[in-house]
Amino acid sequence: MPTPHHVVIAVFPDVDLLDVTGPAEVFALAERESGGRAGYTVRLAGPAAGPVATSAGVRVLADLAFAEVGTEVDTLLVPGAVDPHPDGPVARVDGSVVEWVRATAPHARRIASVCVGAHVLAAAGLLDGRRATTHWSTAARLAADHPEVDVDPDPIFVRSGRVWTGAGISACLDLALALVAEDHGEELALAVARQLVVYLRRQGGQSQFSVPLSRPAAARRDIDELRVFITENLGADLSVPALAERMCLSERHFARVFRQETGTGPAAYVEEARVEAARRLLETTDLPLERVAADTGAGSVETLHRSFRRRLGTTPAAYRRRFRTAS
């Protein structure tokens, strides 16, 4: 008999649809790919049993009410919902959901949040003293509301003991695949990933967004145009003097304007862009490190090593071993 894995996914009004259906599909495929030996059963629990309208307008059916869940919970999965706001989306934190999560968590072997569901876990006190992630757009608010939580807005997912937190909405697949791998090993997780046509099963340490997305749009159009130029010409001379000349500004004035508009210095921005391009090559090609360094403008393997150490805390070779896509 397979070890039972009772997965309970919370649902509530305006919950993000993919947060619910994505993990459910992963667990269902794990059952299919294992010939029924994975032991997963998925139930949706809501404030009351019955239909629940998601943010997409599609209704899902809660199998049971929160009060009926009981103590037989292997994995408690908490998705998120957002409310619109002029300054960007705001995670919804419903008190009744928080109370149910707080009461149910002690009975679960592990707890996981998807996207802004991390705000619910934080409100329930489950992230205190832990490193956690959430959707990049609400990470600053999570950190401000819960200073006792070590919020890292970059990773796709984070595991801290028996508590897992996932990033943006599509990262629910990566998180659920990681849970399957923990339960049954990499082979089954990769089989499920193939069925989902997710060719690369991304690990938690990978970034959820690119360098351009991680920086707000500049008020000055010429700075945004320069950022595009940098991304498209990584092999060019991107030194401060060269960029300042391109902008027809003195080096000091250019550096000051660039930092004001982007929140970082031009040299640091160029390094970030080159490291990101190198990461893509390391993940998807077998090019030697010398070629990766040359194609991304790093110049030498030694410079590439220093940049990876500074930005990612690892080496290019170690990064490739961990994240290389299978051919």
> What residues act catalytically?
115
Number of alpha carbons in the 13 Å side-chain half-sphere of residue 159? 12
Per the DSSP assignment, residues forming a β-bridge with 52 are 60
Is the torsion defined by CA of 225, 138, 82, 21 positive or negative?
positive
Per the DSSP assignment, residues forming a β-bridge with 159 are 164
Amino acid, single-letter form, for residue 189: A
Q: Tokens for 60, please give them.
A: 């899902």
DSSP, residue by residue, 8-56: EEE--TT--HHHHHHHHHHHHHHHHHTTS-S-EEEEEEESSSEEEE-TT
What is the Cα–Cα distance from 74 to 52, expressed in whole angstroms?
Answer: 23
Contact status, residue 242 vs residue 254, Cβ threshold 8 Å: no
| Backbone φ, ψ for residue 52 (5° rounding) | -130, 125
Place of tokens 């259906």: 21
Contact status, residue 88 vs residue 137, Cβ threshold 8 Å: yes
Contact status, residue 151 vs residue 142, Cβ threshold 8 Å: yes
| List of residues 6+ apart from 211 with CB closer than 8 A | 231, 269, 272, 273, 276
